[in-house]
Structure 1
Amino acid sequence: MPSEIPGPGNRPNQGSVYLITSDGRTLSLPIPSDSLNDPLRWSLLRRSLALASMSMFTVVSLIIVQGTSLFLGQLGNEYSSIPFRIDMLSSIPCLFWGIGAVIWVPLCLAIGRRPVFLLCTLILTGACFVAAVSQSFYVHLTARCMQGLAGAISPSVMILMIIDMTYIHQRPLYIALFWCFTTVLSNIGLALTPLIISAGGSWRAFYWVWLVPSALTIFLALFGCPETYFKRYPISFDGHILAQYENGKTTIYTNWGEVPKGKPLPVEPTVWKAGSVAKNIIFWNRTTTEGWQAVSAFPKQLLICVCNPLILWVLILNALIFGGMVLTCSTYAEVLQEPPYNFSFQNIGLAKVSPAIGAMLAFLSSGILTRQSIHFLAKRNRGVREPEHYVPSFILPVITSSISLGLFAMAVHRQWDWRWILLFVGLDYFSAISVFVSVALWVTEAFPLWAGPAIVVVGAGGYGLSFALSFGIMPRANSEGLAKTYIELGLLTLIVGLVGLPVNYWGARFRNYIYSKWTQE
């Protein structure tokens, strides 16, 4: 009979992982295979090049997507006769971040992560060029949609790529490092936006300048990032048959007849043919993917995740906190350029230092502090890491988001010193980056069999809802006042965050119930 070893005493909890041994050693799970294509066996150089390629693309896409908010005034002068609000150009990429996640995640299950990455670099570069040469609002708007579509790979497929390349105990640090420091670098790049536009004499200079590094990401993806997807088949180990999942759960069988799909066939070596050079380059180092069958099963898994209250909770929380950050970032530039602050266009760019500092502090919170707290809680739990151990990481961003939204509104309403405004903008950035890392860890570790669909739900749904929030709340703010609207949003964020208390106590029981009803292993 097969036996499961997620932890001492054969604990059956789905998502639970035996991570720390009795002598204090942290286990490296999943166990790497013998294949050199297994990303867990990559050299430090190979892994570093892959992460650098992904980070470069993310930094450039974040700059291109967010940069428009800094020169909406110039765009308003050029597109003065349009029937839409000009800030649609800065907010609509959030909507297409959501749409892109729904497209890219199932596609990467069928053809691999690498081809999707290459496709997104081409789309981003093409969209940047179209925006630079656009002569009408509608062409520019289309280019902005495509920029958001391409950038959607970063908070979705790239999170799965990092999970592919790392052990379980490394994931909090690596995901936080990736998301926090790409945000830091993108804000430093955004600080240069007014200087670029002033030197170029037009807002189009922004797109022309960033077209070059965008094109560079194509070559980095092509030559620096191998395929990260790798399916580990059951293997013979110490007289037993060992099968494992990405969440670290291991099942041991006594013979191959007990394995559900039997003994795997030998992996056929890659054969290079002269007529398929381009295909071999695109699918370089390709390992077996789930295939198009996974795409057909994806809608059902997506529906399960949407109906899952534990995922729905973090979806709404991510939407509120990210939407609050989008609101403050789209508001503070305009506020600081008006009396009594009278910031120049160049000084507005320097104000981006505040979000950069907020993102840097988010790494200390969501990366280092979360890793230490998980290790402590797992050690207390007889070495078993539960997904609920990630729930405490939501506490700080929920509190800082709720407070900063209310105080930002008060600072604007009562015209406090400009330093206060930048402080609250930085806190909003800190909250949004921290909560995204916590959300990504929670949904992928709590529901590892649905990691892709779960990332889509919290990514696509979260950013889609944040677009609706940021686009629809301004009329309410104009009618009821900025202070009242932002304070209400902060209180709503706090209330949704409090749902984490019962999740922390009863989450494991509810997870097991969901798996027993909705999965077939």
Structure 2
Amino acid sequence: MEAKVDENVTVSHTDFIEDTKDRHGDAMAVGTVQLIDHNEIVLIPTPSPDPRDPLNLPQWRKWVITIILSLFSVISVLMTSGMGPIFQVVEASYDFNPKASDLMTYPTLFMGIGNLIAMPMAMAVGRRPVFITSALILVIGSVWCAASQSLGSHIAGRDIMSLAAGQSEALCPLIIQEIHFMHERSSKLAWFSAMQSIGTAALVISTTYLVAGLGWRWWYGVFSIVSGVVLISSFLFIPESLYHRPTDAFEGTVHVHHKHGGPDTAVQATVRHRVELDFVRYKARTVKDDLKIFHGKPNWKAATDCYYRMAQCILFPNILWVVLMNSAVLGIYVVMVTEFAGILVAPPYRFPFTSLGFVQGGQIVVSILLVPVLGWGGDLLTRVMAKRNNGLAQPEYRLIPILLPAVTVVISCIIYGKAGSHPTDWSPWAIITTFNAEYFGFIGIVLIGFTYSLDCYGERAAPILVLICACRGFASFGISFGVTNFVTKQGYEGSFNVCAIVMGVVSALGFPVFFFGKKIRAMTMRFAVDNEVTEI
């Protein structure tokens, strides 16, 4: 699955670096790419002439893949994190056993563990077998929980299910990233997040009615059936997306050196001038090939390398900041989602149980705003800024829109805290609006953090996604244990003022990342570029 150009050529990244330096002077930093050339958008990574290259999939197929991945994420997030509105019913069925809270707290921990296990496996055996296995485990876990006869069994079933659900956080975005080009990455990931959020919010609303009518066991039962449909769809329509490319491909120009003489050539693809598919030296994509579970022999060294790369990447200042931003905003969301039901059902608001699901319905509106504002908007801003910079795109352009979700989170914390402490002075809409506004900040920061990191270090996509998702999962798990005591001691206003300060400080660290990002990328380049040479 290597990117092939000609059977008598070698593709080298070293020469590309020198060429780039000659043409652009200081454009040495990894992640700085020629996105616009002669008013045409350059395709990054450069697709190969291989019909089996996932970048060469037709757009309709890419949309099918994105929709299936979104459905998997919807069910995963709902089953692991959507129990909030019905938790009191589940807790009552176990006579309010204090250990019932483990049903809510442990899934985030096991989602993080799932990422740490599955992503290195995906590097070794491919994305397709890991994803299909995860979809199967999700079905098994759902049935397990529905049929559980004790609290311990129920907790164990949710933990196993959460191991698979973790793939919605890292593996799904990785697959989407691998089948799309840089100039469309933000919008496609935004569509993925929007479909996930809209679907989850809609099902959370229906959850309270489903449980009220059929009981919580059928909540698992119904969605185990849906998970089965997702499993079958995954097997039929999601191909392998792992495809090894020369380092040059991530910079937008593959340099070809002829072994047996002839001038060197540079292969660059644009939106208008794609690489012509070669059906002579490459096999055509077939249904039989797509349905294969495994493609090639496992590369176990790639799995161990993934852990090694994670240890390296967490030391990159810009990636560490992205991890901190993700952890902080998720931690705040955990506090809000844990407390909003208690505030709204108590006097003076007295919300009925079946109405709690509608509170999260605002996430539908938030998700609809996400696509044009941060999805298309982020891609458009990058293209506009690249045009103003002689066609060169810097990953830091992606960070400009992060101001909106960051400020939104800080303001939401302050208002949420005041409304929680002084409910008689505030409308319930203060809680509902700020809760959903914080969710906008959460998915916005996640989206921008992903796209920025992938633009910086394309060859380190998998370990970086694992870092972000696992670290924020562990942070969420730790925070969930101390939420009640934290709010009890500090009060709503005091605790959310602390949250606002933490978010403000972490967000402020983004300014040096933005202004010194290029130097950071130049400094870390030796650890983030493989300098692979592809010989054909």
Q: Give the SS at the match of 2:505.
A: helix
Counterparts in 2 of 1:423 and 1:280: CA distance versus 1, 3 Å: closer
Shift in Å at residue 435 of structure 1? 0.5
Instruction: Give distance in 1, aligned partners of 2:470 and 2:406.
Output: 20
CA contact (8 A) 1:2 1:251 kept: no
Aligned partner (choices 220, 225, 246) of residue 212 of structure 1: 225
**1:46-445 alignment to 2 at 5 Å?**
46-80=61-95, 82-84=97-99, 86-200=100-214, 202-232=215-245, 244-245=248-249, 247-256=250-259, 281-283=291-293, 286=295, 291-415=299-423, 416-445=426-455
**Residues 118 and 222 of structure 1 are in contact (CA less than 8 Å); yes or no, is this contact kept in structure 2?**
yes
Query: Partner of 1:190: helix, strand, or coil?
Result: helix
Q: Distance in 2 between matches of 1:192 and 1:219?
A: 24
- Segments of 5+ residues of structure 2 without an aligned counterpart are 1-13, 262-279, 532-536
Alignment-mate amino acid for residue 411 of structure 2 = I
Q: Which runs of 5+ in 1 are unaligned?
A: 234-242, 259-265
In the alignment, the residues of structure 2 paired with residue 44 and residue 451 of structure 1 have an alpha-carbon distance, to the nearest angstrom, of 22
Q: Report the equivalent of 2:42.
A: 27
- Is residue 365–residue 434 contact of structure 1 (8 Å, CA) maintained in 2? no
Task: From the superposition, tell whether residues 386 and 412 of structure 1 become closer, same or farther in structure 2 (CA, over 3 Å).
Answer: same
Per chain length, whose mean CA-contact separation is higher, i.e. which structure has more relative contact order (CA < 8 Å, sep 6+)?
2
- Cα distance in structure 1, aligned partners of 2:255 and 2:60: 34
**CA displacement at 1:268 relative to structure 2:** 8.5
**Alignment RMSD:** 2.5
Q: 1:439 Cα deviation (Å)?
A: 0.9
The aligned residue for residue 506 of structure 1 is 516
Are 1:121 and 1:218, in contact at CA under 8 Å, matched by a contact in 2? yes
Instruction: Give, in angstroms, the shift of residue 131 of structure 1.
Output: 0.9
Q: Distance between the aligned counterparts of 1:249 and 1:31, measured in 2? A: 5
Number of aligned residues? 494
Alpha-carbon spacing, 1:76–1:322, altered in 2? closer, same or farther (3 Å):
same
Greater mean deviation of Cα atoms: 304-313 or 170-179: 304-313
Residue 440 of structure 2 corresponds to residue 463 of structure 1: no
One-letter amino acid matched to 1:302: M
d(CA) in 2 for partners of 1:313, 1:14: 18
Counterpart of 2:169 in structure 1: which amino acid?
P
Q: SS of the counterpart of 1:254?
A: strand
Partner of 2:33: 17
Closer, same or farther in 2 for the Cα pair 1:470/1:267, shift >3 Å? farther
Q: Relative to structure 2, which stretch is displaced further, 155-164 or 326-335?
A: 326-335
Give TM-score, length-normalised by structure 1: 0.89
Q: Secondary structure at the match of 2:251?
A: coil
Asked whether the 8 Å contact 1:6–1:16 carries over to 2, the reply is no
Return the offset for 1:432. 0.6
Contact 2:35–2:386 at 8 Å: present in 1 too? Answer: yes
> Structure 1 residues 520, 219: CA separation in 2 closer, same or farther (over 3 Å shift)?
closer
Query: How far, CA to CA, are the matches of 1:505 and 1:33 in structure 2?
Result: 35
Q: Distance in 1 between matches of 2:37 and 2:281?
A: 33
Choose 163-172 or 439-448, whichever is displaced more. Answer: 439-448
Structure 1 residues 198 and 3, CA, compared in 2 at 3 Å: closer, same or farther?
Answer: closer
Amino acid at match of 2:518: A
Q: Which residue of 2 aligns with 1:479?
A: 489
| CA shift digits 1:417-459 (9 cap, x unpaired) | 1112110111011011101001111211112221111111111
Aligned residues of 1:301 and 1:450 also touching (Cα < 8 A)? yes
Task: Provide the residue aligned with 1:240 in structure 2.
Answer: none
1:82 Cα deviation from its structure 2 partner: 3.5
Structure 1 SS opposite 2:37: coil
- Residues 302 and 457, structure 1, Cα contact 8 Å, conserved in 2: yes
Cα distance, 1:337–1:119 mapped onto 2, change above 3 Å: same
Q: Residues 29-58 of structure 1: CA distance to partner in whole angstroms, max 9, x if unpaired? A: 223222221122212332222222211111
Give me the whole-angstrom Cα distance separating, in 2, the residues matched to 1:159 and 1:340: 42
The answer on whether the counterparts of 1:6 and 1:18 sit within 8 Å (CA) in structure 2 is: no
Which letter maps to 1:124? L
| Residues 50, 282 of structure 2: 8 Å contact kept | no
Shift of 1:248: 2.8
Offset from partner CA, 1:139-176 (integer Å, 9 cap, x none): 11112212221111112011111111111101011011
Task: Tell me if the contact between 2:459 and 2:530 (Cα under 8 Å) persists in the aligned partners.
Answer: no
Aligned identity (percent) is 24
Residue 352 of structure 1: CA displacement?
2.1
SS in 1 for 2:255: strand
Residues 378 and 398 in structure 2, CA contact (< 8 A), matched pair in contact too: yes
Residue type at the aligned position of 2:67 = A
The code of the aligned residue for 2:521 comes to R
Please give the secondary structure, in 2, of the residue aligned with 1:343: coil
Whether the 8 Å contact between 1:197 and 1:203 is mirrored in structure 2 is yes
- Residues 108-160 of structure 1: per-residue CA shift (max 9 Å, x gap): 11111111110011111111111111122211111221222111111201111
Q: Does 1:43 align with 2:58?
A: yes
Matches of 1:251 and 1:363, distance apart in 2 = 32
Contact 1:123 1:150 in 2 (8 A): yes
The range that moved more, 7-16 or 452-461, is 7-16
Q: Once the 2 structures are TM-superposed, how far is the Cα of residue 78 of structure 1 from its aligned partner?
A: 2.2
**Partner Cα distance (2:353, 2:530) in 1:** 58
Q: Structure 2 length as normaliser, TM-score?
A: 0.87
Shift of 1:386: 0.9
- Note closer, same or farther for the CA distance 1:28–1:470 as it changes in structure 2 (3 Å cut): same
| Displacement after TM superposition at 1:75 (Å) | 2.0
From the superposition, tell whether residues 137 and 26 of structure 1 become closer, same or farther in structure 2 (CA, over 3 Å). same
**SS of equivalent residue, structure 2 residue 82:** helix
